[in-house]
Amino acid sequence: MKKLILVFSLLAPAAILAQEALHTLPPSKSPVVNNDSTVSLTLFAPKASAVSAHGFGNAPVVLERSADGNWSATTPKLLPDLYTYTFDVDGMRIIDPSNVYTARDIASLFSEVIVPGGEADYYSVRDVPHGSVIKDWYDSPSLGQKRRITVYLPAEYSLNPDKRYPVFYLLHGMGGDEDAWNELGRASVILDNLIAEGKAEPMIVVMPNGNAAMKGAPGYSELGMYEPRGEHSVSPQGSFENAFTDIVSYVDSNYRTLPDKAGRAIAGLSMGGGHSWRISMMYPDMFDYVGLFSAAVRWNGNGVDDSPEAVAEVENSLRRQMQNPPQLYWIGIGKDDFLYPINADYRNMLDRLNINYLYEESDGGHTWSNWRHYLVHFTPLLFRR
């Protein structure tokens, strides 16, 4: 067996590490986050004629070729944030082959990199207690489906078997799914960090799939590994909102919740902001905290209906909700968001009805950058009794 020892010593490190095949790492190290908040990118593409990177601001970052076949560039100084980027290689759009950290946004993959500092430090995993993330399936009798759902439990949950926790329902936008807030939105990382700093109460966060026609994210239903397209996520107007109590029933039955208005928050981005807006009106006794992030408020599937009947319906629903108002009604929108006008119009309506709300107007548009910010700002305001 002496021979075997020798063979093993020679082969084992490479071969056991390799498992499926003998992978070699790409020859270039990319991305590198520099101390001056720039990011250096490198791509090995010996025969390419033009390479650029997209995702670091509006202008592409043009890479330059060196003699060894590597293309490289350093971005301008960047604001702290999580950036999603791709390369364009002679018209072919690819993720960074040297970066294993990726996120899917609807039908596209992106490479990810975090420029630290400021609020972006809430997006980085720190040496703090980590909560659990559960990919669960709840029964929705209203929709006649079992549906996939993401549930975050705070780190202390399993240590306090008799304690009950408030629940924050966090809804994604059109084209997203039950994975979106936890991946692109970094929700569990943000919650871990806020809770560890004492800036947020320990809470359960529930991230359902807001497209009533989908059982789960692409790849997690019997549709298999299909090509995601917008039409997969179109569902009849109101169908998710009308089935929402199925989620609340499931969560209150399966987790140690505080099952009352004071123990529930709801917020969402874009379409999910519209859902949060409508659901909080439909069930005025259910949520004490409402967050509208770049919200498609008053959107009926085609646009905003400004007929007198539609306006009266909304105003009556709001008046009914505000007879016993939530403790917090929070609105956030970017100055450049294409939904800015309908949000401005909606705030006028709230002002006219003397309804109180907190308002944050940020730079930028309809972006995950803003939605992560709003999550960091909104969550500390919840459940402070």
For the segment 187-216, give every residue that binds a copy of itself (CB under 8 A).
none
Residues 6+ positions from 114 with CB-CB distance below 8 Å: 33, 81, 82, 83, 120, 123, 124
The residue within the footprint of a copy of itself, chosen from 345, 351, 361, 363 (CB under 8 A), is 345
Residues numbered 364 to 383 that lie near a copy of itself (CB under 8 A) are: 366-369
Task: Say how far apart CA 275 and CA 292 lie, in whole Å.
Answer: 9
- Of the candidates 320, 247, 250, the residue with the CA atom closest to the CA atom of residue 280: 320
Residues numbered 80 to 139 that lie near a copy of itself (CB under 8 A) are: 84, 89-95, 97-102, 104-109, 112-114, 124-127, 129-137
Residue type, 131: G
Q: Shortest gap between Cβ of 360 and a copy of itself (angstroms)?
A: 19
Q: Whose Cβ is closer to a copy of itself: residue 228's or residue 326's?
A: 228
Residues numbered 228 to 247 that lie near a copy of itself (CB under 8 A) are: 228-230, 233
Q: Whose Cβ is closer to a copy of itself: residue 117's or residue 303's?
A: 303
Q: Whose Cβ is closer to a copy of itself: residue 270's or residue 287's?
A: 270
Residues numbered 275 to 294 that lie near a copy of itself (CB under 8 A) are: none
Q: Whose Cβ is closer to a copy of itself: residue 136's or residue 360's?
A: 136
Task: Say how far apart CA 10 and CA 360 lie, in whole Å.
Answer: 61
Q: Shortest gap between Cβ of 378 and a copy of itself (angstroms)?
A: 18
Task: Say how far apart CA 381 and CA 206 lie, in whole Å.
Answer: 17
Q: Does 314 bind a copy of itself (CB under 8 A)?
A: no
The residue within the footprint of a copy of itself, chosen from 67, 198, 225, 308 (CB under 8 A), is 225
Q: Does 67 bind a copy of itself (CB under 8 A)?
A: no
Number of residues that bind a copy of itself (CB under 8 A): 106
Q: Whose Cβ is closer to a copy of itself: residue 67's or residue 100's?
A: 100
- Reported in sequence order, the residue ranges of 116-270 that DSSP labels E, i.e. its strands, are 132-140, 145-153, 167-171, 204-208, 264-269
Residues numbered 32 to 61 that lie near a copy of itself (CB under 8 A) are: 43-49, 55
Residues numbered 292 to 311 that lie near a copy of itself (CB under 8 A) are: 296, 299, 302-306
Cis peptide upstream of residue 31 (ω within 30 degrees of 0): yes
Q: Shortest gap between Cβ of 30 and a copy of itself (angstroms)?
A: 9
Place of tokens 């909606």: 346
Residues 6+ positions from 150 with CB-CB distance below 8 Å: 133, 134, 135, 136, 178, 179, 181, 182, 206, 207, 208
Q: Show the 3-state SS of 286-321.
A: CCCEEEEECCCCCECCCCECCCHHHHHHHHHHHHHH
336 with 364: CB under 8 angstroms? Answer: yes
